[in-house]
Amino acid sequence: MKKSKLFLFSILLTAMALFLAACGGNDGADGDSNEGGDSPSAISMLTGGTSGTYYPLGGEMAKIISDETGIQTDALSSNASADNVISLQNEEAELAFVQTDVVAFAEQGINAFDGNPVDNVLAIGSLYPETIQIVTTQDSGIESVEDLAGKTVSVGAPGSGTYVNAEQLLEVHGMTMDDIDAQHLDFGESTGGIQDGNIDAAFITAGTPTGAVEGLGATADIKIVAIEQDKIDALIEEYPYYAQDTIAAGTYAGQEQDIATVAVGAMLAVTESLSEDTVYEITKAIYDNAESITHAKGEFISPEAGVEGIGIDFHPGAEKYFKEAGVLE
């Protein structure tokens, strides 16, 4: 009888051990490890305001990811780059559109991230140039950056990518935010304010054509202020993440000439907690299907361009994709 009880007890202990091992074996298989694991069933992609470029483009990309990987991907409007990085840092979302300069600031712990460096956000890849546009109207009398002095100008939220771009452009023109009446508005509010006569001009950093600027052009004669070549050269020398850019004639209603300006890069960033396999599949879905994107900025998205202008480390999953594509060593 005692042997029978001991035998049954032994079986019970073995069963419990197997059960605990099985439970423990699920650790790391839920997509929280960069070494692999199961894909999540759903993820969030942070974009930007509904009147910018991130939101409509993000909607198309989210559908591609959903269709190609089976991971339900939801594109959500947000306050764009700086807030998006913080949300990724806090693991409140998995993917986000960001400016290349802003995410570099985040890693360095400067500007909006002063004292709060971000070390858990990695790159998927570059997407397209984000053009710095100084928008006003033909009858505003503003012909140059210097003419913004004393004017009411929207510069974006403090610490945002647009704000930093405005601050640095003013700097190379010998100006500061104190020289203007700075207003912190999003793109839609900025162009609405110009239309209503409440502000004189607005800095807008976004892919062209930008929906908010197109909307303004439907009701007002808009003007995009050009940046002089010597100031472009000075800006790039001081801040190498800028590149010279041109807003081609005809981009907006009534724009008859090319406009010289500068651009930074738009990119996709990801929280490092997503597995290598998951990020590989996401990266492959985006870049292998870029030709199906109908948004105007889709033409810039390619594996070759995806590795350009990245100032932070790639996620291992993205790195794997770009190496297989032969564009990264």
In this predicted structure, what is the pLDDT of residue 35? 54
Residues 30/59, Cβ–Cβ less than 8 Å: no
- Mean pLDDT estimate for the chain: 89
The burial of 110, by beta-carbon neighbours within 10 Å (0-12 exposed, 13-18 middle, 19 or more buried), is given as middle
Contacts of 60 (CB under 8 A, 6+ apart): 293, 294, 295, 298
CATH 1.10.10.10 fits 130-264, yes or no: no
pLDDT band at 22 (very low <50, low <70, confident <90, very high): very low
3-class state of residue 36 by DSSP: strand
Q: For the chain, where are the E strands, in sequence order?
A: 42-46, 72-76, 95-99, 121-137, 152-154, 181-183, 201-206, 222-224, 243-247, 259-271
**Polymer length in residues for the chain:** 329
The fourth-level CATH superfamily of domain 42-128+266-324 is: Periplasmic binding protein-like II (3.40.190.10)
Residues 220/195, Cβ–Cβ less than 8 Å: yes
Can you name the residues that pair with 72 across neighbouring β-strands? 42
Interval 205-233: pLDDT, tens: 999 999 999 999 999 999 999 999 999 99
In this predicted structure, what is the pLDDT of residue 20? 39
Interval 245-269: pLDDT, tens: 999 999 999 999 999 999 999 999 9
Domain segments of the chain: what residues?
42-128+266-324, 130-264
Burial call 149-178: b when 16+ CB within 10 Å, e when fewer? eebbbbbbbebbbbbbbbbbbbebbebeee
CA neighbor of 177 nearest in space, from 152, 142, 141 = 152
Compute the average pLDDT of residues 49-71. 95
CA distance 284 to 264: 24
Which of 22-26, 48-52, 236-240, 264-268 has the least mean pLDDT?
A: 22-26
Can you name the residues that pair with 33 across neighbouring β-strands? 36
